[in-house]
Chains A and B, each alone.
Chain A
Amino acid sequence: MAQDTAPPRAEEHEPEVAVDTARGGLTGLSRLEIIGGLYLLVGVALAWLGVGLPADAIALQFGVGEIAPSLDLNPAVSVPVLAGLIAASGLVGILDRRLPRLAVPALVAGTVLVVPLVLIATLSQSGVPQTNVITLLGESLRLATPIALGALAGLFCERAGIINIGIEGMMLAGAGIGFVFYGLVGQAAGGWPLYAAVVVAVATGAMMAALHALMTITFRVDQIVSGVAINLLAIGITSFLRRQVIIPEGLGGGVTLPTIDLPGLSSLPVLGQLFTGRPIFLSMFVIFVLVQVTLFRSAWGLRVRSVGENAHASETLGIDVVKTRYQAVIIGGMLAGLGGAWFSLETVGTFDDVMTNGKGFIALAALIFGKWRPWPAFGGAVLFGFSEAFGARLQLLGAEVAGYPIPAQFLQSLPFVVTIIVLAGAIGRAVPPANVGKPYERSR
């Protein structure tokens, strides 16, 4: 490679465009061809297994009530059909050389088809072979809320060039301190203190982010180290507050933010369920649109992104790199704080130790899964939300394989496995913003 003679650091972040079509290794096959072959094999195997499923129809209901449509499917037919489609997508992947533009979309579609396939196959093994798809979807979206908000928090920081592995800590601090405020001010009675507590949670997230910004931007501390410290600090502060304040004062009545029906939309016949929810869940959709607009359609958003790609070039254009980075990191922290409020103030109505339970890290995965773009990251978040919702549903239904219940842990692990496969395969290399992780010093 010609760059090898250039100053070594220069090459580090060059986008490796040629990866997906490069042939190499022992097989002489491109990556897409290998993945296509795998999908073909898996699809054929699943189709063969699917034929053996019981032929009793399962019912997929869409919505509740009389007019709700219901889809009766015969697993012994529909599973092989879906598996056949997956195999076909693999075939398109293999024919990458002939159909160069179709391979990646086909493989992505094949990956998405795994979801209904698993749904139908597991339902056919359960005692109650019916489920409400809309409810499942709504629940997936609801559980995706903190992951999606956390991913947006990471998006702001990383697009500005600051790694943020402290999302978990910012969420946790928001959840804990927001709840303490609510408990002390509102005496756990609901009403306006609940909303004020959400504001406190957002402000807490902003303060944790400001600390991260101070450490990484002003003091140029390693960004990952600072993130690790933020996480520890949040665990320490919130657990400390729980033992010193929440438990002694007996805070925590389980009161949560109320459910809101969006007028008009929530009375729609089939999809109405999706427009009923609690405030943070509903605000998530608005926030996604706002983020998309500010980051990709405004001058400020362009500044944030340019600072994350090349701080020194931005500086020569008159952008205040330090100020822009501070702003982006703190806005990210506010979103993480809101995500934290989802746990304590919207869902549970109390605060437990480490109640964010690794969701901040999952959010980071969703962000990278979506290659640092808002909507694909949202898709990743929904995937994680779905698996959680589906795992919970399955335990209720009691699906069995070979006389043993399907372990919920397996289904919970499924999205993680899918993420690994997708990262290693169809999506290809996730290229972060070029200046991410690099401390910035004003030129003199």
Chain B
Amino acid sequence: MSQAPRQGEQPPEGRGPADERRGAAALLETYHRLAPVTVPLYALLLALLVGAGVMLIAGANPFEAYGALFAGAFGNPERLVRTLVRSTPYVVAGIAVALAYRAGLFNIGVEGQLLIGGLTGVWVGTMSALAGTPAVLYVPLVLLAGALGGALWAGIPGVLKARTGAHEVIVTIMLNAIALRMVDWVVTSREPKILLDPDASTPRTPDIVPAGQLPDLVPGTAIPVGLLLAVAIAAGAWYLVSRSTLGFQIRTVGTNPSAARYAGMSVPRIIIVSMLISGAVAGIGGIIAVNAGDSAHLTPGLLRNVGFDGIAIALIARGNPLAVIPAALLWGSLLSGAPLMQVQADLSIDLVRVVQASVILFVAGDMIVRTLFRIRPERGAGGSPTPAATGWGAQT
């Protein structure tokens, strides 16, 4: 494929057949080179086609339904804001998964870390001893509490993995189950009353005091500052992974723990640190999710599936923190557009779940996309497993 024309080789006059062939080859080369961008787009297209197939079976008009879905997500400024707010927790959850993924760890526990982070944040944010703290101090304090809660919950599997080899997937699944029940107890228990708001009709915590809530990004709009925070976290995570020494160590441990050990890196330390960072990010995500919308309280079901969707988003983004942002936006816009689709096309909102699953399958199965659209396979592909799958068996 080294047919790309070089400057000096241009024939002096006219466009001969050889030149045309070269031009076509150059175009083809560009087509292949663009694969990192085009493959996900084709995957989305294929996923939408699968969704359209389901719509046709259900007797709906796909164009009408997708039109409604799009209008529901981006139709007017209000909906656009709602879509952004909806996507923000997914950005953070996706980054949390992606960070651990780069260290070869499969953090299924983001679901639980979000919950515990949200819980510790709300706990600090409603503490009567802290009433009267100015917002400049209080907001960072709430975020810090959330980060610590999430880091604690992720630190357990990290330490156990590093010190005893206990499988992080199983430990995090267990900790998710525990977190779910602990939060359920703390939020719903009436005797003793712990964090239940006794005046609310449904079980929930009281709202975080106004000084502790994340402020609006632009006063007057409903965009919370969480969006900016999420983008900052994405940028920070990108810098950490791609540009810092620690990130280099994380990536080395993720791709080849033996080589990392041989190079003098402490694999257990990197595992623990990666899980702590991942959990801290998830904890902040919990606070952002609690602050989304008009209220700032935690309910037992508030963060349901956000962590699991974060796994899917991180996988679509292939562990790249910056690519998490568009993936999460796609996720959030599908979810926030769905209600309008339900009303206008009489299709259940759950259809978008089918589309989401298809996106993952086609993005992950890029062999299918590349075969269909005649894009040459990635160099070095075939044989070497991607980090997620090695994370299962690799015992360090």
Listed in ascending order, the chain A residues whose CB lies under 8 Å from chain B are 3-5, 8-9, 11-13, 16, 19, 25, 31, 163, 165, 215, 219-226, 228-233, 235-237, 239-240, 242-244, 358, 361-362, 364-365, 368-369, 404-405, 407, 409-410, 412-413, 416-417, 419-420, 423-425, 428-432, 434, 436-439, 441
Contacts of B365 in A (CB 8 A): 215, 219, 221, 226
Query: With A225-B360, A413-B182 in contact, is A11–B258 under 8 Å at CB?
Result: yes
Alpha-carbon distance between A233 and B51 when the two chains are bound, in angstroms? 11
* Chain A residue with Cβ nearest B315: A225
CA distance in complex: A410, B185 (Å) = 8
Which residue of A has the minimal Cβ distance to B164? A424
Check B166–A423 contact: CB distance below 8 A: yes
Q: Which of A225, A240, A428 contacts B354 (CB 8 A)?
A: A240
CB-defined contacts of A416 to chain B, threshold 8 Å = 174-175, 177-178
Please determine whether B257 and A12 come into contact, CB atoms closer than 8 angstroms: yes
Q: Which residues of B contact A417 (CB under 8 A)?
A: 174, 178
Please tell me if the beta carbons of B182 and A409 are within 8 angstroms of each other in the complex: yes
A-B contacts, 21 listed (Cβ < 8 Å)? A25-B163, A219-B365, A221-B367, A222-B315, A222-B388, A224-B391, A229-B364, A233-B354, A235-B350, A236-B354, A240-B348, A368-B169, A412-B181, A420-B171, A420-B174, A424-B160, A424-B166, A432-B393, A436-B393, A437-B389, A437-B393
| Interface set, chain B 185-214, CB cutoff 8 A to A | 185, 189, 191-192
Q: How far is the CB of A200 from chain B (nearest CB, A)?
A: 18
Q: Known interface pairs A4-B262, A236-B354, A437-B385. Does A12 touch B178 (Cβ–Cβ under 8 Å)? A: no
Contact call B259/A8, Cβ cutoff below 8 A:
yes
Cα A228 to Cα B175 with chains together (Å): 19
B residues in contact with A225, CB < 8 Å: 315, 360, 364, 386, 388
Is B261 among interface residues, defined by CB-CB distance under 8 A?
yes
Residues of B within 8 A of A13 (CB): 393-395
Q: Is B38 an interface residue (CB 8 A)?
A: no
- CB proximity to A under 8 Å, residues B318-362: 347-358, 360-361
Which chain B residues (150-179) contact chain A, with CB distance < 8 Å? 156, 160, 163-167, 169-171, 173-178
Interface membership of B184, Cβ < 8 A: yes
B7 to chain A, nearest CB (A): 40
Give the chain A neighbours of B165 by CB distance below 8 A. 16, 19, 428-429
Inter-chain contact A240/B351, CB cutoff 8 Å = yes
Closest beta carbon of chain A to B119's beta carbon, Å: 13
Interface residue range, chain B: 35 or more
* Main SS class of interface, A: helix
Interface string of B358-376 (1 = CB under 8 A from A): 1011001101100000000
User: How far in angstroms is the closest Cβ of chain B from A329?
Assistant: 15
User: Shortest distance in angstroms between A303's beta carbon and chain B's nearest beta carbon?
Assistant: 20
Kindly state the separation between the CA atoms of A220 and B191 in the bound complex, as whole angstroms.
Answer: 53
Docked complex Cα distance between A224 and B311 (Å)? 10
Q: Give the shortest distance, in Å, between A24 (CB) and chain B (any CB).
A: 10
Once bound together, how far apart are the Cα atoms of A436 and B167, in whole Å?
14
- Is B240 part of the binding interface, using a Cβ–Cβ cutoff of 8 Å? no
Contact across chains for B354 and A404 when beta carbons are under 8 A apart: no
A364 touches B170 (CB 8 A): yes
Interface centre among B176, B182, B256, B354 (most CB of A within 10 A): B354
With a CB–CB cut-off of 8 A, which chain B residues contact A420?
Answer: 156, 160, 166, 171, 174-175
A4 touches B261 (CB 8 A): yes
Residue of A9, A228, A365 most packed against chain B (CB within 10 A): A228
Q: Are A12 and B170 in contact (CB under 8 A)?
A: no
Beyond A226-B361, A409-B184, whether A232 also contacts B189 by CB under 8 A is no
B160 with A423: CB separation less than 8 A: yes
B383's contact among A230, A244, A361, A441, by CB below 8 Å, is which? A441
Q: Which 3 pairs from chain A and chain B are nearest by CB? A: A236-B353, A243-B348, A239-B350
Asked if B390 CB lies within 8 Å of chain A CBs, one says yes
Question: Which residue of A19, A232, A437 is within 8 Å of B356 (Cβ)?
Answer: A232
> CB-defined interface of B291-314 with A at 8 Å, one 1/0 digit per residue?
000000000000000001001100
With a cutoff of 8 Å between Cβ atoms, the chain B residues found around residue A405 in the complex are 191
B170 with A368: CB separation less than 8 A = yes
Of B166, B169, B350, B393, the contact of A240 (CB 8 Å cutoff): B350
Q: Is the CB of B173 within 8 A of A228?
A: no
The verdict on B36 contacting chain A, using a C-beta distance below 8 Å, is: no
Highest count of chain B CB atoms <10 Å: which of A235, A243, A420, A434: A420
Asked, given contacts A424-B164, A438-B389, whether A361 binds B350 with beta carbons under 8 Å apart, the answer is no
Please tell me if the beta carbons of B177 and A423 are within 8 angstroms of each other in the complex.
no
CB pair A222–B389 under 8 Å, yes or no, is yes
By a CB distance below 8 angstroms, the chain A residues around B66 are none
CB neighbours of B167 from chain A (8 A) = 368, 423, 430
Asked whether B350 lies within 8 Å of A431 as measured between CB atoms, the reply is no
Contact (Cβ within 8 A) B351 A31 = no
B49, CB-defined interface residue at 8 Å: no
